[in-house]
Structure 1
Amino acid sequence: MGLGRLLTRQASTPAQTRSAGANFQVVIDGNPINYPSSIYRGAMTIPGAWRAALLISDLLGGVPWDAYRSRGGNPIEQLDPTPLLLEQPAPPDTRMTTMSSLALDLVWHGNAVGVIAARNRDGWPTALVPVPAEQVGVRRVPDNAVAPLPPGTVEYQVGGLSFAPWEVLHIKGPCAPGALRGFGVLEAHLDGTLNLAMEQAKQAASISRHGVPTGVLKVSNPDATEGDLREAKEGWLRSQRDRTVAALNSTTEFEPLSWNPEELQLVEARKFSLHELALIFGLPLSFLGADQASRTYSNIEQEAINLLKFTLGGHLARFEQTFSQHMPRGTTAKANLDAILRADTLSRYRAHQIGLTAGFLTRDEVRELEDRPPLTDEQKAELDRRALPNRDPKPHPDEVPEVEPA
């Protein structure tokens, strides 16, 4: 199915036709659940949430992808060139753009959805159109429904169009057994940690902007009326908002309930929210900017490994298995994690030396690992010539000393 047909095809079920950009509800067995883009963007205004979501989505979007094929007991071989679905899933966008946006939807909504837009002559997908998860309806077709799909089939609805499961790439996040959609950060934590963090930021900004701490405006004039008190209060607040000098007479005094700078910014409460965000997204607290003075180089290196194992591992597996389902039998999609696991230069060179000495790596294999071309014959001869002084010299046959008989 081409991209043009995708955007113009009408569903055969009686449904109100809407543009693809409309704000649709996610429907689970007839129960609407809606988290519109405004809430999505609102949660991303939290600095810790922005950092966490961006770190995960960019790492997932930035890794290269490979495809491997195993047939008839033959050795597994890497496909070259990489299938278009993995190299550039949604042209003209780059792979980074497409994969990171899908990863962002997977983190926040628990679902990443793309509609298959093009196939090769063998019928296998070569391109998709990413669709915001909030604009996708998913249900299992009931027995009495007038639908183009058989009863019991999972049906996806996007913009008034109906799609079968084999027409949709659906990366599903954590979910209950048999659930039709995944469970995301918004659904799980919007009413708790996320709303609390946004409210704390608003309160800190309001206090800092107005600069008026909680206090008592004392009027010692016994004849002051309620109107006089209200006027004194309004005048005091107005002068603070305008950043001007307040004028008080001898019978009026302001007694602040003073806050120190940390209290003004709700520092401790916001640190606690940052800790909760780290737990929600499965990230080390230091990755969100928390100060940890005891960290060492080895700690940082181990954190990177833990990030891959315990945070990105589940997301990557979901991507890999979903893409593999849309490839020919025996072909699997795998993320190339070399870039993430790549050690520093000195550590890599030491590892290469061990491989060369033990004999399970060649010079050209090492150069390939370092993204360098194979050695030419001239370069190999030069390296061999340089290595000669380090070898045990073998005497020429003419130079072998004669041994006298006993």
Structure 2
Amino acid sequence: MNIFQRIFKPKEQRDFTQRDADGWRDIIGSATGAGVQVTPRTALGIPAALRAVTLLSGAVASLPLKVYRKTEDGREPAIENQVYKLLHQAPNTLITPFIFKELAMNHLLLHGNFYAYIDWQHGKPAALWLLDPAAVTVDRDKDTGRISYKISTIKGQQILTPEEVLHILGTTLDGVKGISPITLARESIGGAIAELNHGQSFFKNGANLSGVLQHPGHLGPEAAETLRQSWRDKYSGSGNAGKVAVLEEGMTFQPVTLSNKDSQWLESRQVSVLDVARIFGVPPALLGHLEKASYSSQDAQNLEFLTHSLRPWLSRIEQACNRSLMTHNNLYCEFTTGDLLRTTLDRRYEAYRTALAAGFMSVNEVRQLENLPAVNGGDELYRPLNMGLLGEEENNGEGNQSVTSDP
């Protein structure tokens, strides 16, 4: 029985009783000036934040993470390597690579750190098991600078070495432990939660006809209360929106416009979407804020998303995996991002024609990108007839010179 089986039996895997300060903060939240507690769960109650997290985690999870071997001619997929199988096929017996990468991003975005126990067997990583970030404490020895990981379980704390943990850091201020975006921007997140709570209270208690009743006569306290209660029962609440009111006894209905305060609330909701976009580094248009969207094409939007939103996270994951999982210097892992930049059919085929004509792609390489089988003779690279090395001599009508036959 290995160390993981000893300290993380299935029934005990989620029974954490001891936590460090950051772990408890993830559960009970941090107080904000808006008077609300900000936790990963409460932050996900903001629609824009939920969309940002699912967008980033889903995008990263959908990208293949492969292991390559350096060769004299460049590189080749190391499909027989154990790490390739873990990252591309199955990290363990319970989850798929998609779920593994999705959880990694969720932990990074909501907790600032991702931890996985590396189950080494015969000098090779045999499995990657997720650890609850709220149950992990990272310590650095003051004398040696060496890092250790304390894992809190129902039986107490267990110590793991850096060689046993795949640790991916988010934004960090000390290089030891990451900090989540919602922790760094908890005041803005707290304000967005408070605005959402205000809106729920407004629509729950407000009369949706947005006006006042005027009676020509004088109503006693009991009559006024009866009218008020009847009006509230029929027209108050979101379920009664749009109903037609029937007025009697000469009563009139005076519609009122939205107050400046409520107008500012609606505007603040839009500002909250922009704040969330800034916090998570996501283009506002991808969160549904299309007011100032100025992309010339879907390709431009995808390129910005890959370059500014995804690339930093992909680099963090790649480098952490290279450091913790690779046993040879000629091996490295890398995300395949080509699918994210796939354009329309016409543009893609035009790019292929250019690549084939320029001689830097073969027919089979193009077919591989389109998930088509290779063909005989498809690995040859072609060079245009009118191109050659400077000073190269013509080769008897071959190469750069066209061949003609006598009449």
Aligned partner letter, 1:306: E
- 1:172 is matched with which residue: 143, 162, 169? 169
| Superposition deviation, residue 364 in structure 1 | 1.9
Q: Which residue does the alignment assign to 2:33?
A: none
| Superposition deviation, residue 355 in structure 1 | 1.9
Aligned partner letter, 1:35: D
| Superposition deviation, residue 91 in structure 1 | 2.8
Cα distance in structure 2, aligned partners of 1:51 and 1:234: 45
Cα distance in structure 2, aligned partners of 1:369 and 1:32: 44
- 1:210 is matched with which residue: 205, 215, 231? 205
TM-score, length of structure 1 as denominator length: 0.74
Task: Work out whether residues 210 and 240 of structure 1, in 8 Å CA contact, stay in contact via their aligned partners in 2.
Answer: no
Task: Work out whether residues 216 and 254 of structure 1, in 8 Å CA contact, stay in contact via their aligned partners in 2.
Answer: yes
Q: Which residue does the alignment assign to 2:87?
A: 86
Aligned partner letter, 2:168: I
Q: Does 1:96 align with 2:118?
A: no
Q: Which residue does the alignment assign to 2:342?
A: 342
Aligned partner letter, 2:373: P
User: Against the structure 1 CA distance between its residues 238 and 119, is the aligned structure 2 distance closer, same or farther, given a 3 Å change threshold?
Assistant: farther
User: Against the structure 1 CA distance between its residues 233 and 42, is the aligned structure 2 distance closer, same or farther, given a 3 Å change threshold?
Assistant: farther
| Superposition deviation, residue 282 in structure 1 | 0.7
The unaligned stretches of length 5 or more in structure 1 are 10-17, 144-149, 381-391, 402-406
Cα distance in structure 2, aligned partners of 1:151 and 1:362: 51
Mapping 1:80-229, distance limit 5 Å: 80-81=79-80, 83-87=84-88, 88-116=90-118, 118-121=119-122, 123-141=123-141, 152-159=146-153, 160-178=157-175, 180-190=176-186, 192-212=187-207
| Superposition deviation, residue 288 in structure 1 | 0.6
Task: Work out whether residues 86 and 127 of structure 2, in 8 Å CA contact, stay in contact via their aligned partners in 1.
Answer: yes
Cα distance in structure 2, aligned partners of 1:185 and 1:235: 50
Report SS of the residue matched to 1:319.
Answer: helix
Aligned partner letter, 1:108: L
Report SS of the residue matched to 1:303.
Answer: helix
Task: Give the aligned CA root-mean-square deviation in angstroms.
Answer: 4.1
Aligned partner letter, 1:206: S
Cα distance in structure 2, aligned partners of 1:184 and 1:125: 28
- 2:228 is matched with which residue: 233, 236, 250? 236
Q: Aligned pair count? A: 359
Report SS of the residue matched to 2:138.
Answer: strand
User: Which digits, 9 at most, give the CA deviation of each residue in 1:4-40, with x for residues without a partner?
Assistant: 334249xxxxxxxx94323567637xx7652128832
Report SS of the residue matched to 1:107.
Answer: helix
| Superposition deviation, residue 75 in structure 1 | 4.5
Q: Which residue does the alignment assign to 1:68?
A: 68
- 1:305 is matched with which residue: 303, 306, 319? 303
Cα distance in structure 1, aligned partners of 2:19 and 2:180: 13
Q: Does 1:266 align with 2:269?
A: no
| Superposition deviation, residue 52 in structure 1 | 0.6
Report SS of the residue matched to 1:93.
Answer: coil
Q: Which residue does the alignment assign to 1:12?
A: none
Between Structure 1 and Structure 2, whose CA radius of gyration is higher? 1
Report SS of the residue matched to 1:66.
Answer: strand
Q: Which residue does the alignment assign to 1:45?
A: 45
Task: Work out whether residues 326 and 332 of structure 2, in 8 Å CA contact, stay in contact via their aligned partners in 1.
Answer: yes
Report SS of the residue matched to 2:115.
Answer: strand
Q: Which residue does the alignment assign to 2:27?
A: 36
Q: Which residue does the alignment assign to 1:370?
A: 370
User: Which digits, 9 at most, give the CA deviation of each residue in 1:264-306, with x for residues without a partner?
Assistant: 793211001001111111111111101237645x343222112
Query: Percent identity over the alignment?
Result: 24
Task: Work out whether residues 20 and 135 of structure 2, in 8 Å CA contact, stay in contact via their aligned partners in 1.
Answer: no
| Superposition deviation, residue 101 in structure 1 | 0.9
| Superposition deviation, residue 48 in structure 1 | 0.5
Task: Work out whether residues 215 and 249 of structure 2, in 8 Å CA contact, stay in contact via their aligned partners in 1.
Answer: no
| Superposition deviation, residue 41 in structure 1 | 2.0
Task: Work out whether residues 25 and 33 of structure 1, in 8 Å CA contact, stay in contact via their aligned partners in 2.
Answer: no
Task: Work out whether residues 208 and 265 of structure 1, in 8 Å CA contact, stay in contact via their aligned partners in 2.
Answer: no
Cα distance in structure 1, aligned partners of 2:7 and 2:336: 31
| Superposition deviation, residue 309 in structure 1 | 1.3
Task: Work out whether residues 141 and 155 of structure 1, in 8 Å CA contact, stay in contact via their aligned partners in 2.
Answer: no
